Amino acid sequence: MFPLFDLSGKTAVLTGASKGMGLAMATALAEHGARVVISARNQDQLETAAQTINSLCGKDMAIPVVANAGQREALENLVETARSRAGSIDIVIGNAGVNPYFGPTSEISDAAYKKTMTTNVQSNLWLAQLTVPDMVKKGAGSVIFTASVAALKPSEQLGTYGMSKLALIGLTRNLAQEFGPHGVRFNAICPGLIRTDFARELWENPKVEDRIQQQIPLRRLGEADDLKGLAVFLASDASRYMTGQALTVCGGSNMWA
């Protein structure tokens, strides 16, 4: 294993990690030596995800903990469980996100707006507040938030979701500024259209083939596994002089954004 990417002895906590991009990133971290404490709301999916990682990487490399990222108490339990079962925390990936509303931002209900902002933005602040003290004590750590290319432009259908992800990038940069002197790094990943259940309503659209041919230079949709390398890079010493960045993974569709 290349030393720059070696995560042996590290503990990682991930939200939204029972399937899709979250599961792919958790698997990648475990493959490079980290113990991963994975969370999601669905118990059965989470147990299956942990079994998959453990069958690939070894017994107890993945620890499943049910948690709703939109509830601070659930995140507190997640972090306490992670510490008790895997030790102090070195890496965090805040991947949980929601999009309960498609349509004009001007017409969104208060409930849908609150749910979007709580889960996509505030939950990641909570997660940082709960875990960064471990990293400050060590003088090192990496926190990664999953944003989106939706943050980079307006949309009549995904506008509020994009707003929340732009706010998340802002949170990433502010925390990078605050905790940089302590050796703790914060970066955001901005996926394009990835073929996951979360984005199914978008990639199953019959017009998506035209979009692939006209807007994506690599001429394909992203797959969850396309996030694995970047997750390992940002979590490891390979990116030790990188913080406050928002990196797109989009097949080139947003290279000029």
Catalytic residues: 161
User: Please, what is the angle between helix 20-31 and helix 43-57, to 10°?
Assistant: 30
Q: Please, are residues 65 and 42 in contact by the beta-carbon 8 Å criterion?
A: no
CA distance 66 to 18: 10
Other Cβ atoms within 10 Å of 189 Cβ, number = 23
- Beta bridge pairs of residue 91: 12, 142
Q: For residue 71, give the nearest of 43, 98, 44 by alpha carbon.
A: 98
Alpha-carbon distance values, 192 to 123, 165, 234 (Å): 22, 12, 18
- Beta bridge pairs of residue 93: 14, 144
Side-chain-side CA neighbours of residue 176 (13 Å)? 20
Is residue 178 left, alpha or beta, with left meaning phi > 0 and alpha meaning psi from -120 to 50?
Answer: alpha
Residue given tokens 């938030």 in the structure block: 145
Side-chain-side CA neighbours of residue 152 (13 Å)? 18
Q: DSSP readout, 62-115?
A: EEEEE--TT-HHHHHHHHHHHHHHH-S--EEEE--------S-GGG--HHHHHH
